[in-house]
Structures are given as structure tokens and as C-alpha cells.
Amino acid sequence: MFFLPVILILSILIFTLGAQIFLRSLSFKLRNYEFLRVYEWKIFKYIFYFSIFFVFSLFIYYSYQQYIVWQSVEPSKFLLPPHQSINYFLYYIGMRFFAPYIVSLSTAFLFLLAAKYFNKKYDERFFYPEELWLGALALFLVSWPGALFYFIGLILIYLIIHIFVTSYYKFFFRASPREVRLSLRLWWIPLTIFVIIINKWLIDLELWKLLKI
């Protein structure tokens, strides 16, 4: 990630988190939970698609700026037409700017498809409607290979919550919390922000270097 996109991407995530808190607070205050159910997931869906447009538009602009810089100095101008094919430049910007987000976007859409399928199959048991879009947004914006570390962190958080809730019910109620629905909807965005912030330490890991495109 570059400094400017990190600031802008964090801004999108903080805005999303703020919208999530505001909508939930508003629905509780008005006691209108139908409003939350109907509109919340639509808002996060629009934010997800806006983020796709924003990120790739930004990298198209960066690619143009890179072309201008290469064209103005030696020896990089000899890597551009008419000295040679544009293919090398396209490969360079593709790997430098677009590839990590293309992979993370693919991961986000795979998550959406899988989550929708299993949610429908098991009567909305796993995810609330807004979680599908929060999860997709998180996986996309955290980029690759950050998406893998993000997913691992999400699983660890779920396991910790599951162990805590199970222990609580067994200790206080002598029962298994089978009817309690465990949700990560409050963790999707905060964990994304955390992974992006610690990105500069993650990139030193051998696993990160191995998975990096």
C-alpha cells in the first residue's frame, strides 16, 4: 500500500464504521428495527461498490502519472512506445498497482457468493444481511495478502467469542448456548482497520513475502 491510498482507504472504513454505529443507535432510539433490517445492508452494499470504483479509478490515475514520469526521463522512456511495446508498462502497473486488489476483490466476491449460498441454505443462520457486504468490503480494502491475515484474525476472534460464550453459559446456566447466535458484525470493520495499520510490520513476515504478488 502507498501512503495516500492507505489514508483514503482508512477514511472509507472509518466512515463505514461510523455509519454502522449511527444506524444501529438510531434504530435503537426509534425502536424501529425494521428500518435497520431493510436499509443497513443496502447502504453497505453501495459503499462496497463505491470503494471498488474509487480504488481502481485512483490506480488508473497513478498509472497515468507513472507513464508521464517514465516518458520524461532516461532510461525509462525507452521502455515505452515507440521504442518498444506498451506490454512491459502494462505488466509493471498491473503488478504494482492493480494485482493485489484484483485478488482481494476476487476473494470478496467469492465470500459473497459462498456466504449467500450457505446463509440461504441454513435459513440465515450464519450472517446478518449487512455482514455480507461488510465482509466483502473488508476483504477487498485490506488488499492481498492482507486478506489472508485478516481472515485468520477473524477466525481467531470468532473462536475466542465462542469459547467465552460457551464457558459463560456452562458456568452460570449449566447449559449449552445452542440458541445463541454468535455474530461478528461488530468486528468486520475494526479488524480491517487494525490489519491495515499493522501492515508495515506484517510485510516483514516471510509468509507475507511468499504470498505477495
What per-residue confidence (pLDDT) applies to 209? 59
Domain count for the chain:
1
What per-residue confidence (pLDDT) applies to 42? 86
Name, in order, each residue with C-beta under 8 angstroms of 136's C-beta and a sequence gap of 6 or more: 48, 108, 109, 111, 112
The three cell numbers locating residue 135? 465482509
Which segment of 12-16, 37-41, 154-158 scores lowest on mean pLDDT? Answer: 37-41
Whole-model pTM: value is: 0.84
pLDDT at 37 over 70: no
- Where does the pLDDT of residue 34 fall: very low under 50, low under 70, confident under 90, or very high at 90 and above? low
Residue 2 amino acid letter: F
Cβ atoms within 10 Å, residue 120: 10
Residue 42 amino acid letter: K
Angle at 82 between CA 80 and CA 83, to 5 degrees: 65
Q: Mean pLDDT, to the nearest integer, of 38-55? A: 89
Higher local confidence (pLDDT), 87 or 177 = 87
Higher local confidence (pLDDT), 115 or 169 = 115
DSSP secondary structure of 35-55: HHHHHHHHHHHHHHHHHHHHH
**For the ranges 20-34, 36-50, 127-141, 153-167, the one whose mean pLDDT is highest:** 127-141
Higher local confidence (pLDDT), 137 or 96 = 137
Q: Is 137 helix (H, G, I), strand (E, B) or coil?
A: helix
Higher local confidence (pLDDT), 184 or 107 = 107
Q: Mean pLDDT, to the nearest integer, of 149-161? A: 85
Quick one: which H or E segment has residue 179? none
How far apart (Å, rounded) are the C-alpha atoms in residues 78 and 86? 11
The three cell numbers locating residue 69? 514520469
Average pLDDT, the chain: 82
Contact (CB, 8 A) for 189 and 134: yes
How far apart (Å, rounded) are the C-alpha atoms in residues 111 and 151? 11
What per-residue confidence (pLDDT) applies to 111? 92
Higher local confidence (pLDDT), 133 or 3 = 133
Contact (CB, 8 A) for 149 and 202: yes
The upper half-sphere exposure of residue 208, i.e. CA atoms within 13 Å in the direction of its Cβ, equals 14
How far apart (Å, rounded) are the C-alpha atoms in residues 17 and 36? 15
Give how far the C-alpha of residue 4 lies from the chain's centroid of Cα atoms, to the nearest Å: 17
Give how far the C-alpha of residue 119 lies from the chain's centroid of Cα atoms, to the nearest Å: 20
Q: What is the pLDDT of residues 182-208, one digit of tens each?
A: 778 888 999 999 888 887 776 666 665
The three cell numbers locating residue 56? 481502481
The three cell numbers locating residue 167? 464457558
Boundaries of domain holding 152: 3-211
